[in-house]
Structure 1
Amino acid sequence: MKAVQVTRFGAPDVLAVTDLPDPTPGPGQVAIDVTHAAVGLIDVYIRQGLYKDREGLPQPPYVPGLEVAGTVRALGDGVTGFAVGEKVVALSADATGGYASVHLSDQTRVVSTQGYDIDPALAVAVVPNAIMAHVALTRAITMSAGESILIHGALGALAAAFPGIARQLGASRVVGTVRTERMGAAAATKLPYDAIVDSAELSDALGGEKFDVIIDPVGGAVRTQSLDLLAPSGRLLLVGNASGDWTHRIDGNQIWYSNVVVAGFNAGVYLPAHPDAIGPAAEAALTAVAAGLADTEIEVLPLTDASTAHERLENHTANGRIVLTP
């Protein structure tokens, strides 16, 4: 099979196209002929070596890639509920294996898209993130119908899945924030936001509005500002750190005094511990995506351009999600 390997931790040029043996599914596994693999910040962070000392995360050489779409190639012993040729998406347990023409996945992390009118490029770009968004809003915290939600980094890969799921759960108002240079793209988005504002001008742009739930995949100064934007008993959910500010801290006394909740959601840790959450979340995600609630910008590149895709994520020049095709 064709694959892209990380040969060592470092810059995007450590990504190398290679030929590897076709994998065979073991018990409980599904082999997938990959048509599309999404490129995400987690791929970049691991390749950079940011998590090189974290137990359970890959060491070079490895094939990166968290999310894939394709068709079932073969089934391992004991696998039920799938058929060869069936359209699926899968979410890797350790963020590896996606940048390849064949991917092996545990059956519990494979979701059928058969019967849904969803383009596979869109499926890989948004369905796994919509699953995570649903789990985040129903399990990590609970967002109730009629509540308002603010989503930072509104057009980012994970963030873009939240407005559709929030609408599905009955949100009364959905507002996003983006960097100044992304306001043009925000004006053209089809995502179901009531408004998208400039994160550099939060106080003025929001005019004192408070939110029941705030989703923060950005971190840094935006995280601190979020505490002042929460309604009484509001919930701030930390789902990433796209700012790259790993030294930032928030004031515990402000959390206490304001009577708010700050929680973290890391899907890579949560989902293996709560596999029962994936089924209902997948059904909700597929319904939302098929209904057009997650139509985000997608750019498709060949697998051989994986290093270019990583460069564009690092320098913030990607417009929407980048998807690779073997």
Structure 2
Amino acid sequence: MQAVQATRFGGPSVLGVVELPDPEPGPGEIAIDVTHAAVGLVDVFFRQGRYRDLPGMPRPPFVPGLEVAGTVRALGEGVSGLAVGEEVVSMSAAGVGGYASVYIAPVTRVASTRGSGIAPALAVAAVPNAAMAQVALTRAAHLAEGESVLVHGALGGFAAAFPGMARRLGASRVVGSVRAGRLAAARATRLPYDRVVDSAELAEALAGETFDVVVDPVGGAVRTRSLDVMAPGGRLLAVGNASGDWDHRLDSNELWRGSLTVSGFNSGAYLPRHPRYIRPALDAALAVVAAGQADGVLDVLPFSEAATAHERMEDRALDGRIVLTPDA
């Protein structure tokens, strides 16, 4: 099979296209002929070696990639409900392996897109993230119908899944925030935000408006400023650290004064312990994406330009997601 492999930790240049043996599915797994693989910020962190000292994290050589779309190539023992040739999208179980023309997925993390009208590039870009957003909002943030939601980094791959899912779950208002240079693109997006504001001037831009749930994949100073725009009893959901500020801390005195809660959500840690939430989350995600509530900007590049994709991720030169496809 064709694959993009990280030969060592380092910059984007460590990525290269190689030929590897075709893998075979085991019991409870399927093999997917990959047409599209999503590029995520966590792929960049893995390639850089940011998590190299944590147990279970990938070490070179490895194939990055968390999510794929394609068609069923083969069924492992005990798998039913899917057919060879059926269009599917898969969430990763291991966090690697997606940048390849053949991918092995546990059937529990696979959703059929047959008859949905969802193009495979959009499916891989939006369905897994929307499923994770559903779990994050329902299980970690405990979003209730009629509550308001603020989403930082509003155009980011994971962040972009939250407005549509929040709408589906009954949110009364969804506002996004981005850096000043991204305001024009964010305000032109088809994502279902009520408005988008400058993340550097939250309090001023919101003019007293507060939120029940704040979704923060950015971290750093944005996370601190979030406390100023949270309603009493509000919940701050930390879902990433795109800012790269790994030393940031919150003042716990602000939490008790405002009766605020801060929760973290990492699907790689949460879903293996709570697998029963995966299927309903995927079903909800398919509904959101099919309804056009996750239609962000997509760029499609060949595997041979994976290094370029990672450079753009590092430069934050994106208004949406990058998806890779095997070279012809």
TM interval, shorter chain, is over 0.9
SS in 2 for 1:200: helix
Query: Which shifted more, 36-45 or 75-84?
Result: 75-84
Shift of 1:141: 2.1
* Structure 1 partner of 2:176: 176
Q: Cα deviations across residues 31-69 of structure 1 (Å, max 9, x unaligned)?
A: 000000000000000000000011111110011100100
Query: Which shifted more, 170-179 or 250-259?
Result: 250-259
Distance between the aligned counterparts of 2:52 and 2:219, measured in 1? 21
* Structure 2 partner of 1:159: 159
Distance between the aligned counterparts of 1:180 and 1:261, measured in 2? 28
* Structure 2 partner of 1:23: 23
Pairing of 1:7-46 with structure 2 (within 5 A) = 7-46=7-46
Q: Cα deviations across residues 90-124 of structure 1 (Å, max 9, x unaligned)?
A: 11112111001000111111111112110100000
The residue type equivalent to 2:86 in the other structure is E
Shift of 1:230: 0.7
Distance between the aligned counterparts of 2:79 and 2:26, measured in 1? 10
SS in 2 for 1:272: coil
Q: Cα deviations across residues 203-242 of structure 1 (Å, max 9, x unaligned)?
A: 1110011100000000000101111111011110000000
* Structure 2 partner of 1:188: 188
* Structure 1 partner of 2:299: 299
Is the CA contact 2:86–2:114 (under 8 Å) kept in the aligned structure 1? Answer: yes
Distance between the aligned counterparts of 2:290 and 2:199, measured in 1? 30
The residue type equivalent to 2:185 in the other structure is A
Does the alignment pair 1:143 with 2:143? yes
Pairing of 1:311-322 with structure 2 (within 5 A) = 311-322=311-322
The residue type equivalent to 1:264 in the other structure is G
Shift of 1:318: 2.0
* Structure 2 partner of 1:269: 269
Pairwise CA RMSD of aligned residues? Answer: 0.7
Distance between the aligned counterparts of 2:55 and 2:37, measured in 1? 24
Is the CA contact 2:182–2:319 (under 8 Å) kept in the aligned structure 1? Answer: no
Shift of 1:128: 0.2
Unaligned runs of 5+ in 1: none
Shift of 1:148: 0.5
* Structure 2 partner of 1:133: 133
Instruction: Report the TM-score when normalising by structure 2.
Output: 0.98
The residue type equivalent to 1:316 in the other structure is R
The residue type equivalent to 1:169 in the other structure is L
Is the CA contact 1:299–1:319 (under 8 Å) kept in the aligned structure 2? Answer: no
SS in 1 for 2:127: helix
Pairing of 1:92-131 with structure 2 (within 5 A) = 92-131=92-131
SS in 1 for 2:272: helix
Distance between the aligned counterparts of 1:27 and 1:291, measured in 2? 34
Distance between the aligned counterparts of 1:80 and 1:57, measured in 2? 31
Q: Cα deviations across residues 264-302 of structure 1 (Å, max 9, x unaligned)?
A: 000111111111101111111100100011100000000
Distance between the aligned counterparts of 1:105 and 1:304, measured in 2? 23
Distance between the aligned counterparts of 2:152 and 2:318, measured in 1? 17
Distance between the aligned counterparts of 2:281 and 2:107, measured in 1? 16
How many residue pairs get aligned? The number is: 326
The residue type equivalent to 1:39 in the other structure is V
Distance between the aligned counterparts of 2:56 and 2:83, measured in 1? 30
The residue type equivalent to 2:105 in the other structure is S
Identity level (%): 67
Shift of 1:198: 0.8
Shift of 1:78: 1.0
* Structure 2 partner of 1:72: 72
Is the CA contact 2:203–2:228 (under 8 Å) kept in the aligned structure 1? Answer: no
* Structure 2 partner of 1:47: 47
Pairing of 1:171-320 with structure 2 (within 5 A) = 171-320=171-320
Shift of 1:254: 1.2
Distance between the aligned counterparts of 1:259 and 1:35, measured in 2? 47
Instruction: Report the TM-score when normalising by structure 1.
Output: 0.99
The residue type equivalent to 1:104 in the other structure is I
Distance between the aligned counterparts of 1:159 and 1:265, measured in 2? 13
Is the CA contact 2:109–2:279 (under 8 Å) kept in the aligned structure 1? Answer: no
Distance between the aligned counterparts of 1:141 and 1:112, measured in 2? 28
Is the CA contact 2:36–2:324 (under 8 Å) kept in the aligned structure 1? Answer: yes
Distance between the aligned counterparts of 1:297 and 1:150, measured in 2? 20
SS in 2 for 1:121: helix
The residue type equivalent to 2:312 in the other structure is R
Shift of 1:323: 0.2
Q: 4+ residue stretches of structure 1 with deviation over 4 A? A: none
